[in-house]
Amino acid sequence: MKDELFRAIEKLEPQMVSLLSDLVEIPAISPLGGGSGEYRKARFLSQKLEEMGFGKPEIYNSQDPGAEEGVRPNLIVRIPGKTSKRLWIVSHIDVVPEGDRSLWDTDPFKAVVKDRRVYGRGSNDNCQELVSSLYAVAALKENDLQPEYEICLCFVADEEVGSAHGIQYLIKQGLFSPDDLVIVPDGGNEEGDFIEIAEKSICWIEFTVEGKQVHASRPHLGSNACRAANELSCSLDVALHNAFPDKDEIFDPAGSTFEPTRRNANVPNVNTVPGRDVFCFDCRVLPNIPLEEVLKVVDAEIRKVQDRRNVNVNYEFLQREQAPAPTPPDSPVVEILREAIRNVYGLEPHVGGVGGGTCAKYFRDEGIPAVVWCQESDVAHMPNEYAEIDHMINEAKVFALMMLKKN
């Protein structure tokens, strides 16, 4: 049965490549990124699902006045199983902007198939997995195989900028249950043997230092916001790492990270002492550390700099997400995925955590064990992004075996 199923998936490769190419050529960029949203891609995908015999998908529109037609659409396709237990495979249809087009060898929104790769924005992140999950079901249908579970393919909006109109919106509709098996195929490695069960908390902070601008030849008349910002950045770096030295080997890197990142331009000329300076920190914190404790250290360092340099410091959160508890490594969805990976790759998979965030976090917040897995090249968000066709085929085989496996 397995060999026949795998052959069926391999024969579907031309259709898979064709659909992936079509999806690449429909930009689906958030209004926050200068785009119009996912409406056109969702409409195309809905038509394709009907053509493939899946019927009309359920459509859950989150209202967004800045998007085309004023909505951010989420699609769900359900395939009945032998039992009522549900297996969700959640991929996203939105993509990030192309960035600097001069760095692309081809048009980012014109798919190019070359050397068993499909090039184009969104090919890797996340249309590869959308296609592989869909054609896993198509292969089961072609072989008259009924899945063990009700299969719920979920194609969501807004993953790239916070999921407010995507998974967070769907969770509020009461669609999910703690008994569900959930896989988010939006992170992995080249080998396909890594299962993500945990994420660090994320805290992006933008600091604004206000001093007094003066001529650089008479600095004593002002308060140099640049100097104060430099001191604060360095003191935060040291204080945060000293305060939170904990390690958890499930993550790579094992500790919390506190990185100074973006620095805004202050004054355009050399001979002016800046009166305002803005910089950012990207903090990825182990789940057992409350972000409130991190902010206590931040506030203490700010007070020191304010007193020492006669400046005022304010900050705002560009993102703040406390990580939930990890998915248990022995949970049913992990075990089913482990066995499918063994059967497809002949490898022993390992579980671990990551510093980045995926929408699996929102499932874990609700007490729903979720895993993140795919086989992917590390080219997401980069110029000349591509999907490996062989990876897509392998993923479809893994998903198909998961669909058939009894818990």
Q: Which single residue is written with the structure tokens 């900028």?
A: 161
Q: Which single residue is written with the structure tokens 């902007």?
A: 97
Quote the CA–CA distance of 370 and 349 in Å, as a whole number.
Answer: 16
The DSSP secondary structure of 121-137, one letter per residue, reads TTIIIIIHHHHHHHHHH
DSSP label of 330: T
The DSSP secondary structure of 20-71, one letter per residue, reads HHHHHTS--B-GGGTS--SHHHHHHHHHHHHHTT--SPEEEEEE-TTSGGGE
Structure tokens at 171: 């969770």
Identify whether the C-beta of residue 341 lies closer than 8 Å to the C-beta of residue 350: no
Quote the CA–CA distance of 295 and 290 in Å, as a whole number.
Answer: 9
Is residue 94 annotated as part of the catalytic site, yes or no? yes
Quote the CA–CA distance of 158 and 252 in Å, as a whole number.
Answer: 27
DSSP label of 102: G
Quote the CA–CA distance of 103 and 113 in Å, as a whole number.
Answer: 18
Selected catalytic residue, list 159, 321, 376, 388: 159
List the one residue out of 53, 54, 55, 59 whose CA is nearest residue 41: 59
Which residues are 354's β-sheet partners?
199
> What residues contact 8, with CB distance under 8 A and at least 6 apart?
139, 142, 143
Which residues are 64's β-sheet partners?
none
Selected catalytic residue, list 94, 180, 196, 385: 94
Is residue 159 annotated as part of the catalytic site, yes or no? yes
Which residues are 78's β-sheet partners?
152
Quote the CA–CA distance of 64 and 39 in Å, as a whole number.
Answer: 11
List the one residue out of 89, 80, 2 whose CA is nearest residue 333: 89
The residues carrying an active-site annotation are 94, 159
